[in-house]
Amino acid sequence: MKPLGPIPAVFESIDGELAIGGRKAGEIVAEAGDTPLFVYSRDRLSRRVETLRAAMPPRLRLHYAIKANPFAPLLGFMAGLVDGFDVASGGELARLQEAGVAADRVSFAGPGKRDRELEQAIAAGCTINLESEGEARRALDIAARLGVAPKLAIRVNPSFELRGSGMKMGGGAKPFGIDEDRVAALGRELIAEGAQWCGLHIFTGSQALDAEAIIETQANVLQLAARLAADIGADLPKLNMGGGFGIPYFHGDTPLDIEAIGAALEQRLADLPPGLAQTELCIELGRYLVGEAGVYLARIVDRKVSHGQVFLVTDGGLHHQLAASGNFGTVVRRNYPLAIATRFDAAPEEEASVVGCLCTPLDRLADAAHLPRAEVGDLVAVFCAGAYGATASPAQFLGQGPAREVMV
Ligand SMILES: Cc1ncc(COP(=O)(O)O)c(C=O)c1O
Residue 207 Cβ inside 6 Å of ligand 1? The answer reads yes
Distance CA 338, CA 305 (A): 20
List the chain domain ranges: 13-40+291-407, 70-285
DSSP 322: T
> How wide is the angle at C-alpha 385 spanned by C-alphas 375 and 80, nearest 5°?
135
pLDDT of residue 162: 87
Residue 279 Cβ inside 6 Å of ligand 1? The answer reads no
Centre of ligand 1 from the C-alpha of residue 328, in Å:
14
Residue whose CA is at the smallest distance from ligand 1 atom 4: 65
**Helices marked H in 80-129:** 90-98, 115-124
Residue 109 Cβ inside 6 Å of ligand 1? The answer reads yes
Residue 240 Cβ inside 6 Å of ligand 1? The answer reads no
Distance CA 101, CA 81 (A): 12
pLDDT of residue 330: 80
Q: Tell me the sheet residues that pair with 269.
A: none
90 pLDDT more than 80: yes
Q: Residue 10, preceding bond cis, omega within 30 degrees? A: yes
pLDDT bucket at 213, cuts 50 / 70 / 90: very high
Centre of ligand 1 from the C-alpha of residue 205, in Å:
7
Residue type, 217: T
pLDDT of residue 40: 98
Mean pLDDT over the full length of the chain: 96
Please give the number of the atom of ligand 1 that sits closest to the Cα of 203.
Answer: 1
Q: In the β-sheet with 17-20, what is the strand arrangement from edge to edge?
A: 13-14, 17-20, 23-24
Whether the Cβ atoms of residue 208 and residue 248 lie closer than 8 Å to each other: no
Residue 201 Cβ inside 6 Å of ligand 1? The answer reads no
β strands within 286-378, DSSP E: 294-306, 309-314, 338-340, 350-355, 364-371
| Tally: H helices and E strands in the chain | 10, 22
333-361 pLDDT, tens digit each: 999 999 999 999 999 999 999 999 999 99
CATH superfamily of 13-40+291-407: Lyase, Ornithine Decarboxylase; Chain A, domain 1 (2.40.37.10)
Look at residue 52 and give its three-state secondary structure. helix
23-40 pLDDT, tens digit each: 999 999 999 999 999 999
Centre of ligand 1 from the C-alpha of residue 73, in Å:
21
pLDDT of residue 31: 98
Whether the Cβ atoms of residue 108 and residue 128 lie closer than 8 Å to each other: yes
pLDDT, average across residues 38-64: 98
Residue whose CA is at the smallest distance from ligand 1 atom 9: 286
To test the ligand 1 pocket, which listed residue (85, 154, 169) has its Cβ within 8 A of the most ligand atoms? 169
The 3-class secondary structure across 225-265, one letter per residue, is: HHHHHHHHCCCCCEEECCCCECCCCCCCCCCCCHHHHHHHH
Centre of ligand 1 from the C-alpha of residue 247, in Å:
13
pLDDT of residue 200: 98
Find, among 18, 14, 2, the residue nearest to 382 by Cα: 18
Residue whose CA is at the smallest distance from ligand 1 atom 14: 206
Residue 169 Cβ inside 6 Å of ligand 1? The answer reads yes
Distance CA 348, CA 339 (A): 10
Residue 287 Cβ inside 6 Å of ligand 1? The answer reads yes
Centre of ligand 1 from the C-alpha of residue 288, in Å:
10
Please give the number of the atom of ligand 1 that sits closest to the Cα of 65.
Answer: 4
Residue type, 59: R
Residue 388 Cβ inside 6 Å of ligand 1? The answer reads no
225-260 pLDDT, tens digit each: 999 999 999 999 999 999 999 999 999 999 999 999
Whether the Cβ atoms of residue 200 and residue 156 lie closer than 8 Å to each other: yes
Centre of ligand 1 from the C-alpha of residue 116, in Å:
23
Residue type, 89: S
Residue 205 Cβ inside 6 Å of ligand 1? The answer reads no
Whether the Cβ atoms of residue 122 and residue 150 lie closer than 8 Å to each other: yes
pLDDT of residue 171: 73
For the ranges 138-142, 170-174, 194-198, the lowest mean pLDDT is seen at 170-174
Phi and psi angles of residue 78, each rounded to the nearest 5 degrees, phi first: -65, -30
Residue whose CA is at the smallest distance from ligand 1 atom 13: 206
pLDDT of residue 161: 84
Which option is the CATH number for 70-285: 3.20.20.10, 1.10.10.10, 3.40.109.10, 3.40.50.720?
3.20.20.10
Other beta carbons less than 10 A from residue 262's beta carbon: 19
To test the ligand 1 pocket, which listed residue (74, 162, 203) has its Cβ within 8 A of the most ligand atoms? 203
**CB half-sphere exposure, 394, CA atoms < 13 A:** 10
Please give the number of the atom of ligand 1 that sits closest to the Cα of 288.
Answer: 11
Q: Would 13-40+291-407 and 70-285 be classified into the same CATH topology?
A: no
Q: Tell me the sheet residues that pair with 305.
A: 310
164 pLDDT more than 80: no
Centre of ligand 1 from the C-alpha of residue 285, in Å:
6
Centre of ligand 1 from the C-alpha of residue 244, in Å:
7
